[in-house]
Chain A
Amino acid sequence: MSLAFALDAILGLAVLAVAAWTIVARDAFAAIVGFVAFGLLLALVWVRLAAPDVALTEAAIGSGVTGGLLVAACSHLRGDAAAAGIEQPRAILRLAAAVACVVVTAGLAAIVLLLPDPAPTLAPQAAAQLAQTGLGNPVTAVLMAYRAIDTLLEVVVLLLALVGIWSLAPDRFWGGRPGLRQHEDPNGMLVFLARLLPPLGVLVGIHLFWVGAVAPGGEFQGATVLAAMWLLAMMAGLVDAPPIDRRWLRLALVAGPAVFLAIGLAGFAVAGAFLAYPPDHAKLLIVIIETPVTLSIAATLGLLVAGPPERAPPG
Chain B
Amino acid sequence: MSAATLFGLCGAALAGLGLYGVIVHPHPLRKILAFNLIGGGVFVILGIVARRGAAAGFTSDPIPQALVITGIVVAFAATALAVALVLRLLHETGWVTLRPDLAIGARPDDPHC
Contacts and interface: CB of A to CB of B under 8 A. Distances in A.
Contacts, number: 296
B86 A42 contact: no
A83 B102 CA distance: 9
A85 B96 CA distance: 12
Contacts of B84: 164-165, 168, 307-308
Interface stretch (A20-28, A196-204, A240-248, A252-260): A20-28
Interface of A: 4-5, 8-9, 12, 15-16, 19-20, 22-23, 28, 31-32, 35, 38-39, 42, 45-46, 48-51, 53-54, 57-58, 61-62, 65-66, 69-70, 73-74, 76-77, 80-89, 93-94, 97-98, 100-102, 104-106, 108-109, 111-113, 115, 119-124, 126-128, 138-139, 141-143, 146-147, 150-151, 154, 157-158, 160-161, 164-165, 168, 170, 218, 220, 301, 304-305, 307-308
B25, B55, B88, B90 — most chain A CB neighbours (10 Å) = B55
Contacts of A123: 53-56, 58, 61-63
Interface string B3-44: 111111111111111111101111101101110110011011
24 contacts: A15-B14, A22-B37, A42-B44, A48-B3, A57-B69, A70-B33, A73-B83, A76-B87, A76-B90, A83-B96, A84-B26, A86-B111, A102-B16, A105-B16, A108-B16, A109-B9, A109-B13, A112-B8, A115-B48, A121-B53, A122-B62, A158-B77, A307-B87, A308-B84
Binding site secondary structure of chain B: helix
Given A4-B3, A53-B69, A126 B63 contact: yes
Given A23-B37, A83-B102, A89 B24 contact: yes
A315 B14 CA distance: 50
A122 to B, nearest CB: 5
Interface string B56-71: 1111111101111110
Contact of B68 (A51, A113, A158): A51
